[in-house]
Amino acid sequence: MYRHFLTLLFIVLQFSISQGAEKPHVSKHLSASDLIEGAVVKASCGQCKFEMEGKGCDLAVAINGKYYFVTESHIDDYGDAHGSHGFCNAIRDAKVKGTIKDGKFQAKEFILLDKQAQLPTANQTSPVLKD
């Protein structure tokens, strides 16, 4: 009897360990709290790359499959928008904090991530950092 109990206990433990080892489910959609706390989003020129309506070239982000123009940060704050890695020619990753209000993303923080390492570059931290 004791032997059957140990065998059953071993099976239950193995099952529990294997279930706990699974990767956690990561949502493909960002919540409002993700944006307030900080999330990595796609950023580019709204008109050139995201085909948004507007005049000229304006910084925009893609959040949950929707595009939003960015307030509190300007497309030229991150170098030449028309350069080879500029927002008018490339879609880049950015770590952002902020909220969506009136159909625009109000950036409290906007840090352009390096294309290769996905780390902030020294000269591309946004002046919109606020406490």
Predicted confidence (pLDDT) per residue in 46-73, tens digit: 999 999 999 999 999 999 999 999 998 8
Q: Are 54 and 47 in contact (CB under 8 A)?
A: yes
Can you tell me whether residue 131 is helix, strand or coil?
coil
* 128 Rama sector, left if φ>0, alpha if ψ -120 to 50, beta otherwise: alpha
Q: Is residue 109 over pLDDT 70?
A: yes
pLDDT at 21: 42
Enter the pTM of the model: 0.65
Rounded-to-integer distance, Cα 53 and Cα 55, Å: 7
Both structure tokens of 114: 């390096």
pLDDT at 6: 67
pLDDT at 124: 45
Rounded-to-integer distance, Cα 89 and Cα 82, Å: 6
- In order of their start, the domains of the chain are 26-125 (2.40.50)
